[in-house]
Amino acid sequence: MILAKAKSVARKITVVIADDQTLFREGIKDLLENEKNIQVVGEAADGREALRLVKKVKPNVILLDIKLPHMDGIEATRQIHKDCPTTNVLILSGYEDEAHVMEAIQAGANGYLSKMLPASELVNALKTFANQGVMIPQPVMSKLIDGLRNMGSANTEASLVALTKTEIKVLALLGRGMSNKEIAGALACSVKTVKNHLNSMFQKLNVSNRTEAVVKGIDLGLISAEKSD
């Protein structure tokens, strides 16, 4: 799994945890509450409760299981993405197959992590996610790419997206799960320059975050799969 070192965060990352397994939910809560820059502001045991809670407390991030009672995580993601766009949805699931990953990202999820992730890696992943706005491990990204290819997406829009060669390089590195700092190192430029490239790409691709940019780039054939060694 590709993870960037978490940057120092001045403000607290507010988190809602939504999972129907009480022991798992409480375990994640205990883990996160030991972090000074992370604050758990609510828990939910089903999709409807998760949606109501997000609307009420407006957290930075919701850790959301896919399989939830009453309203599953996919539908909850769609509603949160629509009604609470400032809340990032980070799917935390026991499923890593192509179909679940595709469905979650298409519903508006900003990231996708396995429940099998070690506790320390989960904390680092959450911090990275809050700073960078995307968290999709390389194996999961590869499945997402395979899913898009199997859909036979049309590339007719690609000619209309005038990305520069450097922007395409940045987009490809995003697809490998790199952080802004790692991209800056790979391209021998400053983090500020990387951010400028990202802002330009977002406008040209008509997307609002890194996950959407990577998915759109793959869909248009601008970048392809790059599996980690």
Give the long-range contacts of residues 73-79, CB within 8 A, separation 24 or more.
73/18, 73/47, 73/104, 74/103, 74/104, 74/107, 75/47, 75/107, 76/18, 76/47, 76/48, 76/50, 76/51, 77/104, 77/107, 77/108, 77/109, 78/107, 78/108, 79/51
End-to-end C-alpha distance for the chain, whole angstroms: 11
Least confident of 14-23, 120-129, 172-181: 120-129
Q: How far is CA 125 from CA 72, 78, 115, 133, 224, in A?
A: 23, 22, 12, 11, 24
**Is the alpha carbon torsion for 194, 143, 24, 83 positive or negative?**
positive
Give me the pLDDT at residue 73, please.
Answer: 93
Give me the pLDDT at residue 145, please.
Answer: 55
Does the pLDDT of residue 4 top 50, yes or no?
no
Whole-model pTM over 0.85:
no
- pLDDT, one tens digit per residue, over 29-52 is 999 988 888 999 999 999 999 999
Determine the Cα–Cα distance for residues 103 and 162; give it in Å rounded to an integer: 28
When pLDDT is averaged across residues 173-200 and rounded to a whole number, the result is 89
Give me the pLDDT at residue 10, please.
Answer: 52
DSSP-assigned states of every residue in 57-72 = H--SEEEE-SS-SSS-
Rg (CA), the chain: 17
Using alpha carbons, select from 18, 139, 135 the residue that is nearest to residue 77: 18
Does the pLDDT of residue 228 top 60, yes or no?
no
When pLDDT is averaged across residues 166-191 and rounded to a whole number, the result is 89
Determine the Cα–Cα distance for residues 26 and 43; give it in Å rounded to an integer: 9
Does the pLDDT of residue 147 top 90, yes or no?
no
When pLDDT is averaged across residues 41-65 and rounded to a whole number, the result is 95
Band (223; pLDDT cuts 50, 70, 90): confident
Band (218; pLDDT cuts 50, 70, 90): confident
Most distant CA atoms of the chain, gap in Å: 51
Least confident of 55-59, 143-147, 218-222: 143-147
- pLDDT, one tens digit per residue, over 94-142 is 877 777 777 887 788 888 888 887 877 788 778 777 666 555 555 555 5
Q: Which domains does the chain have, with CATH numbers?
A: 13-136 (3.40.50.2300), 153-219 (1.10.10.10)
Does the pLDDT of residue 79 top 90, yes or no?
yes
Q: How many CA atoms lie within 13 A of 92 on its CB side?
A: 26
